[in-house]
Amino acid sequence: MNVLAYLIPISLILGGLGLGFFLFTVKSRQYEDPEGDARRILSGQYDDHPKQ
């Protein structure tokens, strides 16, 4: 059962990283236009210069 001493903190840290990244995406407004972003990737126009 000693393995739990590693596994539980590891899983919490990984989950926490995921949460951190999510909060970052919320703060940088990446959910303002989900539909538009989903379609922009279909166009080759933004391949070299992502739309700001």
Partner 1 sequence: MTATMRPPASACPACSAAPAAEALAARAAPRDAQVMLSLPTIHCAACMAAVENALDGVPGVRAARVNLTMKRVSVETDAGVSAADLIPVVEGAGFEAHELDATALGATATDRAGRDLLMRLAVAGFAAMNVMLLSIAVWSGAEGPTRDLFHWISAGIVLPAIAFCAQPFFRNAWSALRAGRLNMDVPISLAILLALATSLWETTLSGEHAYFDAAIALTFFLLTGRYLDHRTRSIARSAAEELAALEVPRALRLIASGAEETVAVSDLAVGDLLRVKPGGRMPVDGEIVEGQSELDRSLLTGETRPVYAAPGTDVSAGEVNLTGPLTVRATAVGRDSSLHRMADLVEVAESGRANYTPLADKAAKLYAPGVHILSALAFVGWFLYTQDLRVALNIAAAVLIITCPCALGLAVPAVTTAASGRLFRKGLLIKDGTALERLAEVDTVVFDKTGTLTEGRPEVTNLDSFARPDLEIALALAEGSSHPLAQSLTTALRARGIAPATVEDVTEVPGHGTEGRWQGRTVRLGRTTWTGGGTCEVTATWLRVGDAPAQALRFTDSLREGAREAVQALLEGGKRVILMSGDTTPAVESLANRLNIPQWMAEALPADKAARVQALTDEGARVLMVGDGLNDTAALAGAHVSISPASALDAARVASDIVLLGRSLAPLPEALGVARRATRRIRENFGIATWYNVIAVPLAIAGLCSPLIAALAMSASSITVSLNALRLR
Closest separation between CB of residue 37 and partner 1, Å?
8
Rounded Cα distance between 2 and 39, Å, is 49
Residue 29 Ramachandran class (φ > 0 left, ψ -120 to 50 alpha, else beta): left
x/- mask, partner 1, residues 11-50, rule CB under 8 A, reads xx--xx-xx--xx--xx---xxxxxx--xx-xx-x-----
Question: Contact residues for partner 1 (CB under 8 A)?
Answer: 1, 4, 8, 11-12, 15-16, 18-19, 22-23, 26-27, 31-36, 39-40, 42-43, 45, 51-52
